[in-house]
């Protein structure tokens, strides 16, 4: 039997809205079988990690200079939609990138949105979340 958090235990469409199945999209990234080739792809996989509750993946893809020592997800939040607004750089040959997104969620029947402009850096060929711009 698969352990919770593995791709085999999460069938269906990927929460990142790529149109692919979770098994073919963010699942392999969450399981460490591959790495995101772009900053946007990392952003999408981090959103999916919030949806499926994969704190380990969120921490492992956070730059060490800004990563919190502890991180806990709000169990009351249900993430429902991700929209990528724009990207700057962040391609396979870049060393930094910016992804602006809006993520929708609900808690206790109340809907809300999180809008963020996130910065990413590539270290040793791996994209990492750095921080959010003000």
pLDDT in tens, 96-117: 999 999 999 999 999 999 999 9
7-132 CATH pick, 3.10.450.50, 3.40.718.10, 3.40.50.300, 3.40.190.10: 3.10.450.50
Contact 9, 2 (CB under 8 A): yes
pTM of the model: 0.91
Strands 96-107 and 110-123: antiparallel
d(C-alpha 32, C-alpha 25), whole Å: 12
Residue ranges of domains in the chain: 7-132
Indicate whether 3 pLDDT > 50.
no
């Amino acid at each position: 039997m698969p352990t919770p958090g593995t791709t085999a235990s999460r069938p269906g469409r990927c929460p990142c809205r790529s149109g692919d199945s979770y098994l073919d999209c963010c699942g392999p990234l969450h399981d460490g079988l591959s790495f995101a080739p772009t900053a946007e792809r990392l952003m999408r996989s981090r959103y999916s990690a919030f949806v499926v509750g994969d704190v380990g993946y969120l921490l492992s893809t956070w730059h060490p200079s800004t990563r919190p020592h502890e991180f806990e997800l709000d169990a009351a939040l249900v993430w429902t939609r991700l929209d990528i607004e724009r990207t700057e750089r962040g391609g396979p040959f870049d060393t930094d990138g910016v992804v602006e997104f809006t993520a929708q969620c609900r808690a206790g029947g109340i809907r809300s949105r999180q809008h963020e402009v996130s910065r990413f850096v590539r270290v040793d060929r791996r994209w990492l979340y750095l921080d959010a711009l003000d």
